[in-house]
Amino acid sequence: MGNADRAAPAAAPRRTPAPFRRVLLVGFMGSGKSTVGAHLASRLGWPFLDFDEEIERRAGLSVAEIFRTRGEAAFRALESEVASELLRAEPAVLASGGGWAAREGRLEGLGPETLSVWLRVSASAALERAAGDPQARPLLQGSDAEARATRLVNERERYYQRARLHLDGENASPDALAETILRHLERTNPDVAGR
Ligand code: S3P
């Protein structure tokens, strides 16, 4: 039997992954989720939605005021409610608050249409960035802020790691991070190429 007669093995069907319809940024306080998210959204021409901003709008109070007057548990309840609604928007770029992803089931529960991105930052960089706006982050205030930030980063990293894409949020600029996410999206979303 000549080579020509031999049936070529059937090529495995190539499955192109479905395009993403949403990008969700997660990571510790000060990792740049909101800044990178806003850059990315404007490059994509997609709406940008920020969990904390929506929480503040609904409560008519700042995050710090919610913590102070209603307590963290009330903030977390509002955060869950806002997140489940915002995570239905598409297309959209979303910035979560630093604590939202740090719970069992949160990132694992996202469907295939959501690209989750972890912007990784150390506790010391987070504290340094938070120092510019000391009122904004109640969990990074007080004399034990350093110890608390280190503990929270350590506790939360195992959850953040469940994001699909991990990026260095400490040394890269917001523009460069948005660009990396865009290039990543291009593989699944051909319409994104060239933006
Ligand atoms: C929090 C992070 C904050 C805000 C709240 C609690 C946290 O958002 O949601 O202060 O638990 O890490 P940013 O990550 O945008 O600062």
What rounded mean pLDDT belongs to the chain?
Answer: 92
- Percent pLDDT > 90 in the chain is 79
Lowest mean pLDDT among 8-12, 78-82, 92-96: 8-12
Distance from the alpha carbon of residue 136 to the mean position of ligand 1, in angstroms: 9
pLDDT band for position 18 (50/70/90)?
confident
Residues with CB under 6 A from ligand 1: 29, 33, 52, 63, 97-99, 137-139
Quick check: 35 pLDDT over 80? yes
Q: Which atom of ligand 1 is nearest to the CA of 156?
A: 12
Nearest residue to 126 (alpha-carbon basis) of 61, 59, 33, 31 = 31
User: Which protein residue has the closest C-alpha to ligand 1 atom 2?
Assistant: 98
**Exposure letters 33-50 (e unless 16+ CB within 10 A, then b):** bbbbbbbbbebbebebbb
Q: State both tokens at 181.
A: 């996410």
Distance from the alpha carbon of residue 165 to the mean position of ligand 1, in angstroms: 20
Q: What mean pLDDT do residues 145-173 have?
A: 97
Distance from the alpha carbon of residue 194 to the mean position of ligand 1, in angstroms: 33
Highest mean pLDDT among 17-21, 62-66, 142-146: 62-66
Q: Which atom of ligand 1 is nearest to the CA of 139?
A: 10
Output the pLDDT for position 3.
53
